[in-house]
Amino acid sequence: MLDAQRSDLVLGVVGAGTMGRGIAQLAAAAGIHVRLLDARAGAAEEARASVAAALEALVAKGKLAEAAASATVARLQPVGREAALAGCDVVVEAVVEDLEVKRALFARLEAVVGPGCVLATNTSSLSVTAIAAACAKPGRVAGLHFFNPVPLMKVVEVVAGARTEPQVVDALQALVGRTGHRAVRASDTPGFLVNHAGRAYGTEALRLLQEGVAPFWELDRVLREAAGFRMGPFELLDLVGLDVSHPVMESVYTQFYEEPRFRPSYVLRSRLEAGLLGRKSGEGFYRYEGGKALPPAEPPPLPAGEKRPVWACAQEPAALELLQARVRAAGWTLEEAARPSAEALLLLAPLGRDATSTALALGLDAERCVAVDLLHGLERRRTVMSTPVTRPGFLASAVTLLSADGTPVSRIHDSPGFVAQRVLACVVNVACDIAQQRIASPSDIDAAVTLGLGYPRGPLAWGDALGPLRVLHILQALLAATGDPRYRPSLWLSRRARLGASLLTPEG
């Protein structure tokens, strides 16, 4: 079986495009001899030259020693025929995402390579099991899914097909470790691990936009500045390209037999049909000039609100204390009686519920109610929502109060779970269901998401930080309000939340 640490290890790469040359560069930099093949004449040589140029640029910047760059390039050997891969210990294919093309290639490779050679596919969306089925020995076939750009994206999915032998997965994991990247194991399911775990962020944001909760740029602000994501979901969709993102959404949804959690939105389909592809076309959700997004026109600000007495109510004691402290710090009068006066601004802090249902449940005057999201406290961008009948003057007062210390405030329409609560609960829930299905271990799920998607923390650790019981309550409230099964809590979440256990707790 493959010894990934051998000094004379030989890796074959089939496909010299962006991914293939990235894989070849990473392996060669780790001291592995690489044979690079492409069906187009001259493509392998071009890939070697491209890698050499990239390494020379790093040398010029002082980020790489010249000797290391030269040694890396020397290990890259362009070859012109599949027969030249005969002595390889591992062959990774990075050709077009077409099942029949890959199956035909693997059948040919199997006739060329030795009996101990491991065959790996870099597919991002096709079934590893289906690709391996073309081989006489499907047990030696596995997925080895790298991310672009390969040298910089430090995570690699090692995917076991239905018949992949365990020692093959172990060997590929060791091979990835040799390159300095993190290998995460996943079973052969739609989207594998990273693309599966990333489904909730964009789909729930699109759902919020579809419901008219807020314009896309406001949703981006809340999720970037309040929740802490590196990019807002619509910025990310524009970066990736709507022509890439929407087909993936539809594919995962279809492959999971229309699982409601992954339901795409007509909003994305409509923009795609209009040719609004994102940065590459100059306009997606945002418009671009010189590669830079042009911010949309801001809505007119609310006039300064009247200073009123304030009565606060929250589901959680800590949230109530935060609200009351903010009122006192702003110098406004705080009412602390059991029921508010007839003039008071009513500030609510629901968890998973909207302003309307919260006001009705408490028997409050909905015309004076404004809800505040306290999932992340009040240190960052604040989000408020009003009922459909909240009087403009009371909304203006709430915004004036909450922005008095210079912290920005986002106004949204009534929505169960605000924005951050909804999106984060869905992100955590999808990750919990991945763990529940044993697609990957809890630690690999979090590593894959932080390294592959750039989230500020892994979704299971994030769920622990927010509190599993809070996340469960948000989802239960969303399910009750909408009746949409996309919000049904994962059993992994509900059991651990009720037991007071960490979401990262594996099962024996």
Q: Which residues are catalytic?
A: 124, 145, 157, 195
Residue found under tokens 């999720």 = 223
* Burial label, 61 (beta-carbon count in 10 A; 0-12, 13-18, 19+): exposed
| Residue type at position 269 | R
| DSSP character string of 26-43 | HHHHTT-EEEEE-SSTTH
Residue found under tokens 């194991």 = 185
Q: How far apart are CA 40 and CA 123, in angstroms?
A: 20
Structure tokens at 261: 């959690």
Going by the DSSP 8-state scheme, the letter that residue 82 receives in this structure is G
Q: How far apart are CA 278 and CA 272, in angstroms?
A: 9
Please tell me whether residue 136 adopts helix, strand or coil conformation.
Answer: coil
- Name every residue whose Cβ is closer than 8 Å to that of residue 337 and which is 6 or more positions away in sequence: 311
Beta-carbon count within 10 A of 317 CB: 8
- Name every residue whose Cβ is closer than 8 Å to that of residue 53 and which is 6 or more positions away in sequence: none
Count the residues in the chain: 508
